[in-house]
Amino acid sequence: DLSNYKVANQNTGLANYFRTVIQTDLLKFCKERGIDLYESGLKIHTTIDKNLQQYAENAMSYWMDSLQTTFSKSWGKRNPWVDENGREIKNFINRVVKRTDHYRKLKRKYGADSDSIDIVLNLPKKMRVFTWKGEVDTLLSPMDSLRYYKKFLQAGFMAMDPHTGNIKAWVGGINYKYFKYDHVKQGKNQPGSTFKPIVYATAIENGYYPCYEVVDERRTYETGGTPPTWSPENSDMKFTGEKMTIRKGMAQSKNSVTAKIMSLVGPENVVAKAKSLGIESELAPVLSLALGVSDVSVYELVGAYSAFANKGIWTKPFYITRIEDKNGEIIQQYVPQQKQALSPEDAYLMLHMLKGTIEEEGGTARRLDYQYNLLKNGNEIGAKTGTTQNYSDGWFIGVTEDLVAGVWVGGDDRAIHFPSIKYGQGAYMALPIWADFMTNVYNNDSLGYEMQPFKKPRKPLSVTLDCGQYSLLNLTGADSLLQRRLDSLSVDLDEEGIN
């Protein structure tokens, strides 16, 4: 609750990025009503939980400090802005500086006199800079300063209650004073494999179920566009030739499996499903969308996943509950927008799919169990990691019964990234922030977030989650599309012993 809204120093205190988002919304609200935001004494009630916000900020700071050290060491004396072949992009900083306000002001002042502009940009001056160990006074030119700051990895984090839509924590970046850009809602990036659950949700809605099998092999698809064909690689550039369930395929983040499913359900249907799950960013209706090539925000993606934990009901993430005047009279009340995006059964099947990243052999989020011990006391977590081309973005989204949270980590520019997948992947870049946050949330009993399994739909499932039962019936991959008709099987809703 950010009651008694005061325009204090935005650079200090809790939830800086969030307060700026609120301020922007309130300025618009007040302008429409002829109210002076700063003199009216408005009282703003928000959904942010101070404890969760503090845990989120602490988790991000702790991990990003460590990750930055790893990032700097991995590049050594080389600059981290490189092309697709790993070669440094020449004149990168010269191009970046031309996008700054400082350069535009100099341009207005000096016009075509580029020599004068260069002199000013390369003249050292006293300045205070951000470091992970605290602020440091130094002597740098504007160009050196830009070069210095571009080497920092950025991050965005959001947590919400999937049932109410209440946003509980919002961390838009690593340090608001020095990096004002918000990476929760303002920033959009390629989601990579964190987009795959939307492809699988479309498939599940169309009769494909967790036990449906696809061969992990190289395939070439006709695109009907430019280029005319598409042959997706797996992240390790290998294909096992193994027939695997789509649950295992998603757990191991096999591009070959997702691409096959995308070709079966169709890109237009996946785009429509993404829209129903609250993704408003423009999505290209092409096969490669399956691998997360269209930019989305943390805000959108966390909101989309929340429907899986809310019986298929998508609730628009929101953060202001009501606005009161100085006398305590309510002048605006907010009710979250909701719609049924999936059936309760399909939403539960998606939770089962997402649990696979921790339960299946080779799952990309198994560390949540063996390293962070977050599956104790019968707790269930659904999760997905995401990594984009050239390791530019690392994502992690985790779903629990009462909390859904997502993390993005990457450079200010797509050309700035880790040199290899060893560290340049969502499981390494982003997962630890989520795990640290959730560990602290669970450890604070007063918050009321208990370790617990996902609640099952009231109706018995029309499919079994035990894939072994299908092999006993000697069903082929195509036959498993008829899973809805297997009501005669005794379906164990408790899932005990199912991995």
Q: What are phi and psi of 324, to 5 degrees?
A: -115, 155
**Position of tokens 């072994």?**
468
Please report the pLDDT score of residue 472 as a whole number. 66
DSSP 34-56: T--TTTS--EEEE---HHHHHHH
Read off the pLDDT band of 474 (50, 70, 90): low
Interval 263-272: pLDDT, tens: 999 999 999 9
Residue 489 confidence (pLDDT) above 50: no
**C-beta of residue 293 within 8 angstroms of C-beta of residue 267:** no
> Confidence band (pLDDT; 50, 70, 90) for 293?
very high
The closest alpha carbon to 242, from 357, 352, 354, 361, belongs to 361
User: Where residue 38 falls among pLDDT bands split at 50, 70, 90?
Assistant: confident
Cα–chain center distance at 183:
10
pLDDT more than 90, % of the chain: 87
Given a cut of 80, whether residue 15 has pLDDT beyond it is: yes
Alpha carbons 29 and 36: distance in angstroms, whole number: 10
Tell me the per-residue pLDDT of 159-206, one tens digit each, with 9 for 90 and over. 999 999 999 999 999 999 999 999 999 999 999 999 999 999 999 999
Residue 1: CB atoms within 10 A of its CB come to 12
Tokens of 340: 């049924």
Mean pLDDT for 51-56 is 98
> How far apart (Å, rounded) are the C-alpha atoms in residues 382 and 305?
10
- The predicted pLDDT at position 471 comes to 67
Six token digits for residue 145:
């300063």
DSSP state letter for 405: E
Inter-CA distances, 90 with 96, 100, 259, 333, 344, Å:
11, 18, 35, 53, 53
Look over the chain and give the mean of its residue pLDDT values, rounded to a whole number.
93
Question: What is the Cα–Cα distance from 269 to 282, expressed in whole angstroms?
Answer: 14
- The fraction of the chain above a pLDDT of 70, given in percent, is 93
Please name which of 243, 155, 146, 248 lies closest in space to residue 196, comparing C-alpha atoms: 248
- Tell me: pLDDT of 301 over 70: yes
pLDDT band at 493 (very low <50, low <70, confident <90, very high): very low
**Reported confidence tier of residue 419, pLDDT bands at 50, 70, 90:** very high
> What values do phi and psi take at 139, rounded to 5?
-120, 110
Q: Report d(CA 401, CA 309) in Å as an integer.
A: 6
Residue 58 has pLDDT above 90, yes or no: yes
Tell me the mean pLDDT in the region 365-391: 97
Residue 5 has pLDDT above 60, yes or no: no
Instruction: Give ranges for CATH 3.40.710.10 in the chain.
Output: 154-318+338-459
Q: What band does 225 get if pLDDT is binned at 50, 70 and 90?
A: confident
Q: Report the pLDDT value the prediction gives residue 208, as an integer from 0 to 100.
A: 94
Residue 272 tokens read as 């429509």
Distance of CA 125 to the CA centre of its chain: 38
At 295, list the tokens: 């930019």
Task: Tell whether the model's pLDDT for residue 358 goes beyond 70.
Answer: yes
- How crowded is residue 484: how many other Cβ atoms within 10 Å of its Cβ? 11
For residues 113 and 482, the model is more confident at 113
pLDDT digits (tens, 9 = 90+) for 302-334: 999 999 999 999 999 999 999 999 999 999 999
d(CA 369, CA 84) in angstroms, rounded, equals 35
User: Which of 247, 249, 244 is CA-nearest to residue 209?
Assistant: 247
What is the Cα–Cα distance from 425 to 449, expressed in whole angstroms? 29
Query: Into which CATH architecture does domain 154-318+338-459 fall?
Result: 3-Layer(aba) Sandwich (3.40)
**Residue 473 — very low, low, confident or very high, per pLDDT cuts 50/70/90?**
low
Give 10's pLDDT tier (boundaries 50, 70, 90).
confident
Token pair belonging to 241? 């030739």
